[in-house]
Amino acid sequence: MGRVVIDVMPKPEILDPQGKAVVGALARLGFAEFAGARQGKRFELEFEGEVDQAVLDRAREAAQTLLSNPVIEDVVAVRAASDPE
Amino acid sequence: MGRVVIDVMPKPEILDPQGKAVVGALARLGFAEFAGARQGKRFELEFEGEVDQAVLDRAREAAQTLLSNPVIEDVVAVRAASDPE
Amino acid sequence: MRIGVVTFPGSLDDRDAVRAVRIAGGTPVSLWHDDADIKGVDAVVLPGGFSYGDYLRCGAIARFSPVMNEIIRLAGPPDQVSSGLPVLGICNGFQVLTESHLLPGALVRNEKQQFICRDQKLRIERTSTAWTNGYAEGQEIVIPLKNGEGGFIADESTLDRLEGEGRVVARYLDVNPNGSRRDIAGISNASGTVVGLMPHPEHATEAGYGPEANNGTDGLAFFTSALQGVLSA
Amino acid sequence: MTSDSINTYGENLDALGASAPLTEQQRQALDTVDKARKTPDVDQPWAALGMKADEYEAVRKILDRRPTGSELAMYSVMWSEHCSYKSSKVHLRQFGEKTTPAMQEHLLVGIGENAGVVDIGQGWAVTFKVESHNHPSYVEPYQGAATGVGGIVRDIISMGARPVAVMDPLRFGALDHPDTHRVLPGIVAGVGGYGNCLGLPNIGGEVSFDPCYQGNPLVNALAVGTLRHEDIHLANARGNGNLVVLFGARTGGDGIGGASILASDTFTEGGPTKRPAVQVGDPFAEKVLIECCLDLFKADVVQGIQDLGAAGLSCAFSELASNGDGGMLVHLDRAPLRDSTLAPEEILMSESQERMMAVVTPEDLPGFLAITTRWDVEATVMGEVTETGRLVVLWHGETIVDVPPRSVAHDGPVYDRPYARPDWMDVRQAAVPDLLPRPQNDTELGELVVTMAGTPNLASRSWVTDQYDRYVQGNTAQAMPDDAGVLRVDESSGLGVAIATDCNQRFAALDPYTGAQLALAEAYRNVGVAGGRPLAVTDCLNFGSPEDPAVMWQFAEAVRGLADGCQQLGIPVTGGNVSLYNQTGTTAIHPTPVVGVLGVLQDVARRTPSGWKAPGAQLFLLGTTRAEFSGSEWAWSQHEHLGGLPPAVDLEAERALASVMATAADEGLVFAAHDLSDGGLAQALVEASLRHGVGASVSLDAALERDGVDAFTLLFAESTARAVVAVKPEAVEQFTQACAGNGVPLVELGTTGGDSLAVAGRFSLTLDELRASHEATLPAALNA
Ligand SMILES: Nc1ncnc2c1ncn2[C@@H]1O[C@H](COP(=O)(O)OP(=O)(O)O)[C@@H](O)[C@H]1O
Ligand SMILES: [Mg+2]
């Protein structure tokens, strides 16, 4: 069973209310050193078999059509679960 | 400016309705080869300075107290933005 | 006049939209997400709710349903000036419209990170649409707002363009409940046929069951407008 | 029918979950009935499953052998306090015994079914029920509260009704306690997250703060459904050869042992498996399930539907069989699983959410599956109804359960636990609040009105209620912050219902018998004031450990009080829920018998709202005020005092008040009416003025003279059977006569209007300062 990891983050220029809320909460809990935060999504897709380039291409296609909204989000990574980021 | 990436995923034994919905939608869009999906969160925290072990420890603490709900989620990675997963 | 109301799995306000169409004097026609046939309706309402649980992103999964493929085709490109099928997306329906790229921008989590339900004051800013021609320009109305992800965002140039082309249909007054950029509550496509609105006019069409203000029927004109527009077309 | 003969429904083989055969090793390890017979002396973990030694012995006796692991799982979970009501049953009987034939007139389905059903006229019926989800909400506030809403809604669906509203009586520790800040936002978000996503308007509830709930918040959830008389369905498995179909979500490891371990004993660490300790709800799946069930009922392709809640399949199999012909054969390995490693015992105990079980005739199966397919709901034929009188469960063909279903579902142990009025009640009741310092002059009195408007228990609840959709479905005539939620049931006639839930736990702590009646009286009054004619009661009895005789006494007294009260008011208890073991360490919560009352309005357009909208209405105070401060919000919030005897109950006066208010609503005599409860007259005037920003000018003199009390008492005492009413000027005469005719004392207070609350000769408070106090408290505490 192979696994593909897809990371989706809000575009840097887009306001990220969740990230803003996280910074506020971090500060209140004494983690003020983290002055910025953004919150995105991480998907793990399971695939029957090896994850090769063809699978990654398909996963990227899925990431771009369904798993992210290009108006506000970027697909920042598509990789096999074992690969480095 | 350093950046810490934190990955949080629903615990494997916990129902993940979002992941379920993603699998269903993928299948309808013709990506049926991805038979399983889980959806988690990815946080990027910004830090003024280098990200060293001490910062990562603090980030892990933040991940475990605020950014994840230990009852239903696992912190699967805490790393410097440039580090491999 | 036949107005279609789409039901996706997880749609909630579909029955309310049907009722609103009927109160306005139209004939509601129920449309099913899985059926590309829109039964020759004159206009379509995409109702509020949590289509597919709003998992992934609000409206993202509904956007790929057979009925939406057909609606997207009939509505025409967002910037075309000649008019296509009139579509009103309310709340989740608005989210479906932005996910479908029939309208620009996106709707994100409320600034306060909480679901909010309140009687919301709006100003109608564009009346040359299929859904707001029954209002006076600048008219202030109160209709319910209820959403968790109702913050309208777009990049500055898109916002400028929307303003410049007069495509902001309604703006929040008094309180910006969800952090929407420039207090935007609703927008339209270029021709004014497709309108997305975060608050719920269908919940303000019947005296006694809507907000206290103005008898609670401030939303009715969205539906009577559609009948007007369709008649005069 | 065996697993072979089911093939006669060849085209529906999809519905027969296929599973891989057992390996020889797995077969060896399986605890079958055969094996149980041959190995009588195996040690079984009955104690870890929350069973007592004599209960385990009783099971052995019923079966005439040791139970298999699966049987033990079923008995332990079904005989837990939560499922069997073993400690409460002997007392709850009173609800039935004290229901007179007259009270049954409107009762279509009474206690004992998934939810009671009440006839509201014109062929319409309403079903409603309140349930607790206290412990799970403490462990995981969001999911605990969410799944609490999900569970009660499934009860309503199983009766054949369309769910139309929810309510949420909530109780937390002190507002400034850190744990309140952990649990409250999550619980509120969970109630909203699930209810909003189901498309059910939230039309009311409670938010109460008291240190007794620190470490044990109470999350009660009430659901309401509507149906036509002919649509009532009962969950039972009748008809030899009829099929038992499991549909909805897949079964996972959620909440295994939850029913027995979470709800019957205080928390135990870890547990035997590393299965998830909490259930996660999927409101989308439940919304689809609602529509799917309604379509199934409409198409008439089901005999009955049972919801899966606590005790999951164990409960559904045994209750369906026990309520029906008494036999059932089940192939457990067909259950679609989310986690393929689950053992049969775990599948039987799993409390995975969003599942239902239907009894379907073989002829109806294709129609049934067509509907589940349309809604994309997974459905699996698990087995069939038999006439054997036995519930037989097979696992890959091996018999792992063979029991009389009644012994599991209905003939569990019954305890008449010892109870005794604790001695400390004397001390508590003797500690009257008479000597507590009071305002010294009118200025201080005015200041107290402002302060009280902002105490945690009296402050505006909108921080909570603004997170709930009250508009969806378009039938909400009235919701928060009015006294009762009012729903239209019939769109053409306007026929509808009013519902309120109430309980003042401090009153119940001072005297549980009276306290329960006061909860009933308050909910009844809220419904009555809105113009509803009260018809039926549901209750959620939240108490500490029944093994503590003092708690058991509180419980017995509360039930007796509630049953007597219902009898006197002539409205039956139609269903409810008992939640015991609510305590932190050995300290029990205050007894908290939450009572929900449902009333009928012939036309909800005629309801009476709680706040006045316009100047010029005549204000009257109905009822009599006495110096009743024990358990009051004033004594508690200003002096942290709790002692004495609670206010006197006068159910005849409540009935008269409700009757006047029903007439006033029908005949359109009044603009607004607000009942008096926590915080007394002062708080009622404040709330009714703030509601639409229209103040009032009142004089206390007439009331002071008539009742012989001082201004402080008139403003803050919590005497019952009272309301403030804004009467239409032209109807004063008629209204006064209605009061006289019903023996309801009335005294003039003044008129509505202005932007302040002015009390002649004493003080005048601007609505702005009152609003600032009333609205600041919750946001200030919770947004921090
Ligand atoms: N948790 C809640 N959910 C929904 N409504 C609530 C909740 N708590 C309080 N409310 C509503 O707020 C209003 C004021 O509550 P409360 O003061 O307890 O009413 P009352 O004293 O009339 O019983 C009522 O309309 C009540 O239904
Ligand atoms: Mg009240």
C209 at D interface, C-beta within 8 A: yes
- Asked if residue C52 is part of any domain, the answer here is yes
pLDDT at D17: 47
Tell me whether residue D134 is annotated as binding: yes
pLDDT at B82: 75
Per-residue pLDDT at D485 exceeds 90 = yes
- Asked if residue C15 is part of any domain, the answer here is yes
Establish how many alpha carbons lie within 13 A of residue C4's alpha carbon, considering only the half-sphere containing its beta carbon: 24
Q: Catalytic one among C33, C58, C91, C203?
A: C91
C138 at D interface, C-beta within 8 A: no
pTM across the whole model: 0.93
Tokens (6 digits) for D406: 């009644």
Amino acid, single-letter form, for residue D122? Q
> What is each CA distance from D369 to B28, D240, D354, D613, D676, in whole angstroms?
21, 20, 18, 53, 53
Per-residue pLDDT at D783 exceeds 90 = no
Determine whether the interchain pair C55/B22 forms a contact, defined as Cβ–Cβ distance below 8 Å: yes
Dihedral over Cα of B69, B72, B78, B81: its sign: negative
Per-residue pLDDT at D475 exceeds 70 = yes
Residues of D assigned a catalytic role: 82, 133
pLDDT at C119: 96
- Chain A residues in contact with C111 (beta carbon < 8 A): 17, 20
Determine whether the interchain pair A62/B29 forms a contact, defined as Cβ–Cβ distance below 8 Å: yes
User: Exposed, middle or buried, D61 (CB in 10 Å: 0-12/13-18/19+)?
Assistant: exposed
Tell me whether residue D25 is annotated as binding: no
Tokens (6 digits) for C177: 């409940």
Domain count, chain C: 1
Contact residues of ligand 1, CB 6 A cut-off: D 168, 170, 202, 204-207, 461, 464-465, 468, 480-483, 502, 526, 675, 677-678
Per-residue pLDDT at D357 exceeds 90 = yes
- Residue from D371, D381, D380 nearest D296 by CA: D371
- Chain B residues in contact with C64 (beta carbon < 8 A): 25, 28-29
Residues 6+ positions from C184 with CB-CB distance below 8 Å: C152, C159, C162, C168, C170, C171, C172
Amino acid, single-letter form, for residue D270? G
Residues 6+ positions from D730 with CB-CB distance below 8 Å: none
pLDDT at B83: 60
- Asked if residue C168 is part of any domain, the answer here is yes
Amino acid, single-letter form, for residue D358? A
Determine whether the interchain pair D280/B16 forms a contact, defined as Cβ–Cβ distance below 8 Å: yes
Q: How far is CA D533 from the centre of its chain?
A: 21
- Chain D residues in contact with C117 (beta carbon < 8 A): 466-471
Q: What is the pLDDT of residues D50-83, one digit of tens each?
A: 899 999 999 999 999 999 988 998 999 899 888 8
D637 at B interface, C-beta within 8 A: no
Q: What is the pLDDT of residues B52-64, one digit of tens each?
A: 899 999 999 999 9
Q: What is the pLDDT of residues D85-95, one digit of tens each?
A: 999 999 999 99
User: Exposed, middle or buried, D775 (CB in 10 Å: 0-12/13-18/19+)?
Assistant: middle
CA-CA distance, B51 to C222, in Å (whole number)?
55
- Residue from D33, D23, D124, D38 nearest D598 by CA: D124
- Asked if residue C17 is part of any domain, the answer here is yes
Task: Read off the pLDDT of each residue in B11-40 and give the average, rounded to a whole number.
Answer: 90
Ligand 1 atom 18, closest CA: D206
Let me know: does D74 contact D314? Beta carbons within 8 Å. yes
For chain C, the maximum distance between any two Cα atoms, rounded to a whole number of angstroms, is: 43
Q: What is the pLDDT of residues D505-522, one digit of tens each?
A: 999 999 999 999 999 999
Determine whether the interchain pair C56/B39 forms a contact, defined as Cβ–Cβ distance below 8 Å: yes
Q: What are phi and psi of D590, to 5 degrees?
A: -60, 145
Amino acid, single-letter form, for residue C49? G
Nearest chain B residue to A9 by CA distance is B42
Those residues of chain A that have pLDDT short of 70 are 83-85
DSSP code per residue over D355-417: EEEEEE-GGGHHHHHHHHHHTT--EEEEEEEESSS-EEEEETTEEEEEE-HHHHHT-------
Per-residue pLDDT at D723 exceeds 90 = yes
CATH number for the domain harbouring residue C36: 3.40.50.880
Q: Which of D224, D461, D597 to mutate to test the pocket of ligand 1 (most atoms within 8 A of CB)?
A: D461
- Chain C residues in contact with A72 (beta carbon < 8 A): 106, 108, 153
- Asked if residue C49 is part of any domain, the answer here is yes
Tell me whether residue D154 is annotated as binding: yes
Let me know: does D71 contact D63? Beta carbons within 8 Å. yes
B35 at D interface, C-beta within 8 A: no
- Of the pLDDT bands very low, low, confident and very high (cuts 50, 70, 90), residue D425 is very high
pLDDT at C39: 96
A31 at B interface, C-beta within 8 A: yes
- Of the pLDDT bands very low, low, confident and very high (cuts 50, 70, 90), residue D264 is very low
Per-residue pLDDT at B12 exceeds 90 = no
- Of the pLDDT bands very low, low, confident and very high (cuts 50, 70, 90), residue D240 is confident
Per-residue pLDDT at D290 exceeds 90 = yes
Per-residue pLDDT at D274 exceeds 60 = no
Name the H helices within D667-729: 680-692, 701-707, 711-716
Ligand 1 atom 17, closest CA: D458
Q: What are phi and psi of D615, to 5 degrees?
A: -70, 165
Let me know: does D399 contact D386? Beta carbons within 8 Å. no
pLDDT at D263: 28
Dihedral over Cα of D744, D749, D754, D757: its sign: negative
Those residues of chain C that have pLDDT short of 70 are 229-233
Highest mean pLDDT range out of D12-21, D101-110, D380-389?
D380-389
pLDDT at D18: 52
| The pairing of beta strand D696-698 with beta strand C2-7 | unpaired
C77 at B interface, C-beta within 8 A: no
State which residues form the domain around C49: 2-107+114-228
- Of the pLDDT bands very low, low, confident and very high (cuts 50, 70, 90), residue D246 is very high
Q: How many cross-chain Cβ pairs, A to B, lie less than 8 Å apart? A: 104
Determine whether the interchain pair C56/A66 forms a contact, defined as Cβ–Cβ distance below 8 Å: yes
- Residue from D44, D763, D161, D33 nearest D497 by CA: D161
Portion of chain D with pLDDT greater than 70, in percent: 95
D339 at B interface, C-beta within 8 A: yes
Compute the radius of gyration of chain C from its Cα atoms. Answer: 16
Q: What is the ipTM of this complex?
A: 0.92
Tell me whether residue D279 is annotated as binding: yes
Establish how many alpha carbons lie within 13 A of residue A49's alpha carbon, considering only the half-sphere containing its beta carbon: 8
| The pairing of beta strand D573-579 with beta strand D476-478 | unpaired
Instruction: Decide if C203 is catalytic.
Output: no
Determine whether the interchain pair D249/B15 forms a contact, defined as Cβ–Cβ distance below 8 Å: yes
Per-residue pLDDT at D424 exceeds 80 = yes
CB nearest A34 (choices: B26, B33, B46): B46
Let me know: does C205 contact C23? Beta carbons within 8 Å. yes
CA-CA distance, C65 to C44, in Å (whole number)?
15
- Chain C residues in contact with B20 (beta carbon < 8 A): 55
CA of D657 to the centre of ligand 2 (A): 14
CA-CA distance, D274 to B81, in Å (whole number)?
33
Tokens (6 digits) for B33: 């080869």
Could you give the strand order of the β-sheet that contains C168-172, starting from the edge strand earlier in sequence?
C27-32, C2-7, C43-46, C87-90, C194-197, C184-188, C168-172, C116-124, C140-147
- Of the pLDDT bands very low, low, confident and very high (cuts 50, 70, 90), residue D109 is confident
Per-residue pLDDT at D711 exceeds 90 = yes
DSSP code per residue over A1-38: -EEEEEEEEE-TTS--HHHHHHHHHHHHTT-TTEEEEE
pLDDT at D260: 34
**Closest CA–CA distance from residue A69 to any residue of chain C (Å):** 7
Determine whether the interchain pair B29/C64 forms a contact, defined as Cβ–Cβ distance below 8 Å: yes
- Residue from D237, D236, D315 nearest D76 by CA: D315
DSSP code per residue over D144-198: HHHHHHHHHHHHHHHTTPEEEEEEEEEEES-TTSHHHHHHHHHHHHHHHHHHHHH
Tokens (6 digits) for D175: 């507002």
A interface residues, C as partner, C-beta within 8 Å: 13-18, 20-21, 66-67, 69, 71-72
- Of the pLDDT bands very low, low, confident and very high (cuts 50, 70, 90), residue D311 is confident
Let me know: does D623 contact D518? Beta carbons within 8 Å. no
pLDDT at D20: 67
- Of the pLDDT bands very low, low, confident and very high (cuts 50, 70, 90), residue D341 is confident
Q: How far is CA A80 from the centre of its chain?
A: 14
CA of D516 to the centre of ligand 2 (A): 17
CB nearest C153 (choices: A18, A21, A72): A72
**Closest CA–CA distance from residue C117 to any residue of chain B (Å):** 24
Let me know: does D356 contact D247? Beta carbons within 8 Å. yes
Portion of chain D with pLDDT greater than 90, in percent: 77
- Residue from D302, D327, D286 nearest D245 by CA: D302
| Strands in D229-333 per DSSP E | 243-248, 304-307, 327-331
Per-residue pLDDT at D309 exceeds 90 = no
- Asked if residue C233 is part of any domain, the answer here is no
Report which DSSP code applies to D581. -
CA-CA distance, D196 to C86, in Å (whole number)?
28
- Asked if residue C123 is part of any domain, the answer here is yes
pLDDT at D322: 85
pLDDT at D343: 85
CA-CA distance, A32 to A30, in Å (whole number)?
5
User: Exposed, middle or buried, D362 (CB in 10 Å: 0-12/13-18/19+)?
Assistant: middle
Determine whether the interchain pair C9/D467 forms a contact, defined as Cβ–Cβ distance below 8 Å: no
Portion 45-64 of C in contact with B at CB < 8 A: 52-53, 55-56, 60-61, 64
- Asked if residue C169 is part of any domain, the answer here is yes
CA of D478 to the centre of ligand 2 (A): 13
| Optimal mutation site among A43, A74, A75, A79, interface B, most CBs of chain B within 10 A | A43
- Chain C residues in contact with B21 (beta carbon < 8 A): 52-53, 55-56, 61
